[in-house]
Chain A
């Protein structure tokens, strides 16, 4: 498995502001992903964070709203921009340790409330 930490663990933000969430892994990993889990719903993939290149976004998610960085093989950030109450959710980072392994391990999540 992998030890994954996220900062902050939770936050309360005002609409129109932005929040950057950090994901740190204890070892180098090939793949990093960002998910959203809205209240009472399943996990939805936002994007794949690619090291050294632009993230790959899923349908319904755009870079202007959710810019992602991945400067190295152990760290990634997700920014939630120009927030609205609809962005209130849990944001989760996950990793795949080795290409082809397919099992994803998840961080503890960041619980975001937008007022």
Chain B
């Protein structure tokens, strides 16, 4: 069964304490893996798209990497404003543009 699993479900960090979020997937024919940030009461905000194993993307304190089975979102020296739910989604083979989402990691960064 095609599936996307994110871990941990929740993560609490001190400001400046770097860490990583994990997204593992079991789909055939991956066409893209996406990371989104979602703040309470808002829609998901697009962060990155990764297409192939070995690819990396960076934006400010965030860096996303991709292997054949999983993706990591590395957060370097986080700030309280990085607190949010981080969602991973995959787009896999087929004619439709269907995304399968994970349940997200709720990140809290304390000052």
Contacts and interface: CB of A to CB of B under 8 A. Distances in A.
B99 A104 contact: yes
A47 B36 CA distance: 20
B103 A104 contact: no
Contact of B101 (A1, A43, A48): A43
A41 B6 CA distance: 12
A86 to B, nearest CB: 19
A15 interface: no
Interface of B: 4, 31-32, 34, 36, 41-46, 49, 87, 89, 91, 96-99, 101-104
A42 B99 CA distance: 11
Contact of A42 (B42, B46, B98, B101): B101
Interface of A: 1, 4, 31, 33, 40-45, 48, 56, 58, 92, 96, 102-109, 111
A44 to B, nearest CB: 8
A42 B102 contact: yes
Contact of A41 (B31, B42, B98, B103): B103
Contact of A107 (B4, B43, B96, B101): B43
Contact of B96 (A44, A48, A92): A48
B97 A102 contact: yes
Given A48-B97, A102-B31, A102-B49, A108 B42 contact: yes
A4 B45 CA distance: 11
B91 to A, nearest CB: 5
A96 B34 CA distance: 13
